[in-house]
Chain A
């Protein structure tokens, strides 16, 4: 995946770190100190649909489909900039009974973005 830099318009991953101290949650969340709430943003013109897809063959298949269907005006619409890789967020926190709770929240951190 590609990280957004400067004036990038194409589909990329925008990093955004939430420091729990900034939102006053550092008293009940013991670990980690923050949450990388990255998100996907940017355009996906048709010629890059499926890129960086899960595998180059996926991208080629999509391109061939577009050529075959002269997709310019297809009703199917464009492709979207979406997460293609995510990982869990491990949290250690106090609940309202002051118990210590540890859990892994699946798919909470976006690691890479791509065009659907």
Chain B
């Protein structure tokens, strides 16, 4: 809404009303951020995350060192933390569900994923934990690949297990379901899957449009 009584300092034309200019700039800022994040609109949060879970996870989020410019090939990199929806699948197996629908929608590719979970053992003890991780295929409900892990635990804390290509493929299809099967004496009570501050999560590195990367020579 140009104001006849004043002049735009920069271009000499009629100045735009200050309030109107502010609205235009705020609208431009919103569109610019959504476009760069490949979002059509701002997300509405479906499942709130507790501050305790967020704090615990952020301490493990290891982005590129501060000030590092994004990848030389100009593709934007993302780090994602997806908190598990946990449910008992049967007496000694816990099912963990992770959702990545936004990534698939915006054509991004998950490059590397790892499961983070908390292990609690009595002080001044050590424990060898045997864990089986089964990845549910998204096509049929039969369990697919299983990986076996042996953890030597000498203190309570977070543990990271790198997930294989099957789990990565499931993430790229938007939904990852893991079955966690602690095996051996006392293993079950050591793996903490409940409680806000110890909610297990998957940490993944994502690249925008990784599939059709053109390598510059």
Chain A residues with a Cβ under 8 A of chain B: 7-9, 16, 18, 22-23, 25, 27-28, 30, 35, 37, 39, 41-43, 81, 88-106, 108
Contact = CB atoms under 8 A, between A and B. Distances in A.
B214 interface: no
Nearest to A18: B29
Contacts of B102: 95-97, 99
Interface of B: 9-11, 25-26, 28-30, 32-33, 36-37, 42-49, 54, 57-58, 61, 63-64, 69-70, 74, 76-83, 99-102
B41 to A, nearest CB: 9
A28 B42 contact: yes
B46 A97 contact: yes
A106 B70 contact: yes
Contacts of B77: 103-104
B76 A102 contact: no
Contacts of A100: 49, 54, 57-58, 61, 80-81, 83
Contacts of A106: 69-70, 74, 76
A35 B34 CA distance: 13
Contacts of B70: 88, 104, 106
5 shortest A-B CB distances, which residue pairs?
Answer: A97-B99, A96-B43, A95-B102, A100-B81, A99-B82
Contact of B10 (A42, A92, A96, A103): A42
A29 B63 CA distance: 17
Contact of A101 (B36, B79, B99): B79
A8 B99 CA distance: 51
B37 A103 contact: yes
Contacts of A90: 63
18 contacts: A9-B9, A9-B10, A18-B26, A23-B29, A28-B42, A28-B45, A37-B28, A43-B10, A94-B49, A95-B102, A97-B47, A98-B45, A98-B83, A99-B100, A100-B49, A100-B57, A103-B76, A105-B76
Given A37-B29, A103-B77, A103-B79, A98 B44 contact: no
Interface centre among A91, A101, A105 (most CB of B within 10 A): A101
A108 B36 contact: yes
Contacts of B81: 99-101
